[in-house]
Amino acid sequence: MNNPITIKACLQQAQLLLSDISDSSRLDAEVLLAFVMQKNRTWLYTWSDKIPSPDQLQQFNQLVSQRQQGTPIAYLTGEKEFWSLPLQVSPATLIPRGDTEILVEVALELAQTLQQKNPQEHIRILDLGTGTGAIALALASELPTANITAVDKMPQAVELAEKNRAALGFKNVTVLHSDWFSAITLQKFHVIVSNPPYIDEQDPHLKQGDVRFEPLTALVAPNQGLADIQHIAEHAKQHLLPNGFLCVEHGWQQAEAVRGVFEKNGYVGVRSEKDNGGNDRVTLGVVG
């Protein structure tokens, strides 16, 4: 791209460059240019004849080049929206995805039902493997009186989740360094939620798309992707209050196996909920 070049021309050329690697090449170009210009995407169209500065153009060209190599947009901009909340992201954590909002919806409904039955009680929620803090912070935004604990075994993830918590100002969330339940000791909760690693180590999709750049520790689990879910189901019982719920996200073909794990560990009322694509995405059960 040569200078001078207008915003409109920048977007057109970037869209062309990105068309081979992205089904959303126009959106990718808009997000990257808006990030560089420190404006929103609407502004780009309102002022499409403006000319970016040489520094802005250089930064934009570098980001487009990185995107051509497959680097996820969220890692390039350092942010991702989840549940309408702006979250900082980094290569140390998974990028929050829309499918995970189903897990939030399920947990929110359960928490609200429990709150209605016990209006004087503060609902206690545990988010295992919190990553960016997306699930815990989304729940905190809807449940201001709940006490929410978010844990992760990766120090970089704990630091990032705490940054997001502080930036959003949610005082009802506590972020802890914990390998699953290791730092929870005797605490008990009404609802435990988790989006754990659940991809099979041999899954060919690990070499495709955004997941190539995401941390394997947050994606992959042994035993056909079920090992962490099995660990959670087994140990969550000790940390759930009577009639407490466990809810986990899993792969779209794992629902039957996950239901079997729950039932084997004594959970009752086990069922799966579908994502926006109509696939079973979240399984939940009540501690027996």
Please give the pLDDT value at position 214. 63
Q: Residue 196, annotated ligand binder?
A: yes
Q: Are 128 and 153 in contact (CB under 8 A)?
A: no
Which of 102, 46, 52, 96 has its CA nearest to residue 74? Answer: 96
What three-state secondary structure class fits 237? helix
What three-state secondary structure class fits 119? coil
Q: Residue 129, annotated ligand binder?
A: yes
> Is the pTM here over 0.75, yes or no?
yes
Q: Residue 283, annotated ligand binder?
A: no
Question: How far, in whole angstroms, is CA 10 from its chain's centroid?
Answer: 31
If residue 95 lies in a helix (H) or strand (E), which one and from where to where? none
Return phi, psi of residue 88, to 5°.
Answer: -75, 140
Q: Are 108 and 139 in contact (CB under 8 A)?
A: yes
**Spatial separation of the C-alpha atoms in residues 229 and 233, rounded to whole Å:** 6
Please give the pLDDT value at position 102. 94
If residue 150 lies in a helix (H) or strand (E), which one and from where to where? strand 147-152
Q: Residue 252, annotated ligand binder?
A: no
Question: What is the pLDDT tens value at each position of the chain, 288 positions in all?
Answer: 455 789 999 999 999 999 888 788 999 999 999 999 999 889 998 998 999 999 999 999 999 999 988 889 999 999 999 999 999 999 888 889 888 999 999 999 999 988 888 877 889 999 999 999 999 999 999 999 999 999 999 999 999 999 999 999 999 999 999 999 999 988 999 999 999 976 766 666 666 666 666 666 666 666 777 889 999 999 999 999 999 999 999 988 899 999 999 999 999 999 999 988 898 999 999 987
Please give the pLDDT value at position 24. 86
Q: Residue 215, annotated ligand binder?
A: no
Supply the CATH classification number for the domain 7-70.
Answer: 1.10.8.10
Percent composition of the chain: helix, strand, coil (DSSP 3-state, to 5): 45, 20, 35
Per-domain residue ranges for the chain? Answer: 7-70, 83-286
Q: Residue 130, annotated ligand binder?
A: yes
The CATH label, of 2.40.160.20, 3.40.50.150, 3.40.47.10, 3.40.50.450, for the domain at 83-286 is: 3.40.50.150
Which of 233, 232, 215, 222 has its CA nearest to residue 198? Answer: 222
Please give the pLDDT value at position 154. 92
Q: Residue 131, annotated ligand binder?
A: yes
Return phi, psi of residue 28, to 5°.
Answer: -55, -45
Please give the pLDDT value at position 116. 83
**Which tokens hold the place of 257?**
């196996």
Question: How far, in whole angstroms, is CA 94 from its chain's centroid?
Answer: 6
Q: Residue 244, annotated ligand binder?
A: no
